[in-house]
Structures are given as C-alpha cells and as structure tokens.
Amino acid sequence: MQLKHVAQANLPTAWGCFTIVGFEEIATGKDHAALVFGDISGDAPVLTRIHSECLTGDALFSLRCDCGFQLEAALKQIAKEGRGILIYHRQEGRNIGLLNKIRAYALQDKGFDTVEANEQLGFAADERDFTLCADILTLLGVSQIRLLTNNPEKIKVLEQSGIKILQRVPLEVGENPNNEHYLETKVNKMGHLLHLHHGNCNCNH
C-alpha cells in the first residue's frame, strides 16, 4: 500500500454533494483525492473515473485537450447514477509536471505531437502510475468497478493490481478543432479507444 487516508469532508458541487477524501503517498507526501457520491458499499460494481490532474484543462478551460470536458461529464454521470467515485490523480501532464507540460506545449506549437514532445523532453509518452488508484479504491473498500475510460492502460494496471473491472464505460466528449491532432495521437500512438468524428482518420480501434 503506497497511500494512507488523511481526511474527508462534504463537497457540494453543481451536480450534487460529494464526499472529498484526501490521501497521501507514504513515501513522498504527495496528495491525491477521491470524490465519492452516494453509498459505494456492497457488492455491486461502482462507476469509477480516474481523472489525471490537468490544470490547463480542468481550471483554465483549455481546448488543447479533452480533460476539462471529461472531468465535468464524469462528475455529472456519477451523480446521475446516484453512486460512484472520481479519483483525482495528481500527476499533472502525464506526471511530467506543469512546467514541463508547458514546455511540451511549446514543442507542439512547433509541430511535434504530444508523444514526440514528451520524448523530446526526455520523458516516456506516459509517466503516470495507476497502481496508486488501485490503492485508493482498496482504501475506499471497493474491489469491483465499472470504469469510465478510453485508456486501456488504466484497465490493465488496475486489473493487475487486484481491481475487478466488470465494464468499460466510454467517455467521449470535448472534441474540437484545437485538439484534433492531440486526440488522433492518443488513438494512433497510445491505443486510446476513441471514435473521432473529424477528418478522414481511421480511428475506430
């Protein structure tokens, strides 16, 4: 177990009142959070979203990605269902940090795609550690989920960590002219399960 439970409180939102639960990485002191809606106890699989921190998309309304759109859609869907979890995974920029993410954006402005930009900076295409999310689910007492995701890597890592995923629920929102190339790269280079609607890209993977 890489994490410990630290604190929790009520968090009223536009979609209803969630409980925000704070966790701390034991080795580093880095913090993460989960937003829990309704009663997640029992054997029924819990609708769950792992949302990686994206300051530019979540808080600054960037159209370069689909992150802010996904965050809002996931919270809305969880609240509509009446029970669920959104893990706010604080690994900004696929865990390269905000400043390196801005450096990556500058490279993308010069024509590199999102994978190439990370690699130009000396990082892997995706530096995130999703085993932390499995620990959060375990601490919340949840072992069976329906995962809101387009990313097969999340499914693979969670299942390897002992979380049973009974269904993948697609989350396809936020496509716009500013993130066309970004989304195409996620499909073609990172294997994301998206059905894009623009251009002639054969993206039905």
* Encoded tokens for 77: 């869907």
Residue 83 a catalytic site member: no
Query: Is the Cβ–Cβ distance between 100 and 91 less than 8 Å?
Result: no
* Residue keyed to tokens 């829990």: 36
d(CA 73, CA 128) in angstroms, rounded, equals 22
Is 101 marked as a binding-site residue?
A: no
Is 154 annotated to bind ligand?
A: yes
Judge whether 109 counts as a catalytic residue.
no
Is 133 annotated as a binding-site member? no
Residues 175, 177, 178: CA angle, nearest 5 degrees:
90
Q: Where are the alpha helices (DSSP H) in 2-151?
A: 55-58, 67-81, 92-95, 98-109, 114-120, 131-139
Q: What whole-number distance in Å separates Cα of residue 88 and Cα of residue 37?
A: 14
Strand partners, 32: 23
Residue 65 among known ligand-binding residues: yes
Catalytic residue, candidates 58, 66, 113, 128: 128
149 is in an annotated binding site: yes
Task: Determine if residue 92 is labeled as part of a ligand binding site.
Answer: yes
Query: DSSP secondary-structure letter at 140?
Result: T
Q: Which of 126, 135, 146, 168 is catalytic?
A: 126
Question: Which residues contribute to the annotated binding site for GTP?
Answer: 49-53, 70, 92-94, 114, 149, 154
Task: Catalogue the active-site residues.
Answer: 126, 128
Question: Which residues contribute to the annotated binding site?
Answer: 49-54, 65, 67, 70, 92-94, 114, 149, 154
Question: Which residues contribute to the annotated binding site for Zn(2+)?
Answer: 54, 65, 67
